[in-house]
Copies of this chain bind each other. A is one copy, B any other.
Amino acid sequence: MARAETPSRERIVAGAADMISRRGLNGTSIRDLAKHARAPLGSTYHYFPEGKQQLATEAVRYADTMVTRILRKELDAGPVAGLHAFLALWREIVVASDFRAGCPVLAVSVEEPPAEDAAPPALLAAAEAFDHWEQLLTDALRAHGAAPDRASGLATLVVASVEGAIAMCRAKRDTEPLDRVAQQLEALIVGALDRSA
């Protein structure tokens, strides 16, 4: 019975990913993250003894894995299907949260790390997430006939513009930026595949 009340490690990580995407990392304490996941602070420290940076790093990896899994699956049907899935995922998060949640990977990327030589692990995890998504898109574009250089440039443009559009939608309280970007990117991908056919 006590067991049923013990939050799973994954639920805490998923809650942290959501909260970081809403409020950023610097303004959020591990206490806030635990509370948001309805987890006792004790369990949270039990799972994440190194504290907030450790939990934030896992939250970023959680978002990375979620997106990577969707991309891998949907890109099987081609780059346009992968693009649609990538866009639909973020659009759903933005709309369902009434424009209050977004991408935790972006959130971590735009906050200066503590003044140390080495980048903190959460930032490294964010860089890796972007790399993974770009690589999956690049591979799919190439596999479907896009020229190698064009494929990598276009993959970066997809990730960058969708991430930027999420932020613009939140500021404007409107899905128009994501919808416009969707239209532009789809035309570009179709063009890149056609041209090399």
Which residues 61-115 in A have Cβ within 8 Å of B in the complex?
100-103, 105-113
Tell whether, in the assembled complex, residue B167 and residue A156 are in contact, meaning their CB atoms are under 8 Å apart: no
Chain A interface size band reads 35 or more
Copies of the chain in the assembly:
2
Choose one: B111, B113, B127, B160; the contact of A24 (CB below 8 Å).
B111
B160 A181 Cβ-Cβ under 8 A: yes
Residue pair B181, A110 in contact (C-beta under 8 Å): no
- Of B28, B105, B165, the residue contacting A156 (CB under 8 A) is B165
A163 CB to closest chain B CB (Å) equals: 4
Given contacts A22-B112, A160-B163, 4 further A-B pairs with CB under 8 A are A100-B112, A123-B170, A127-B171, A156-B168
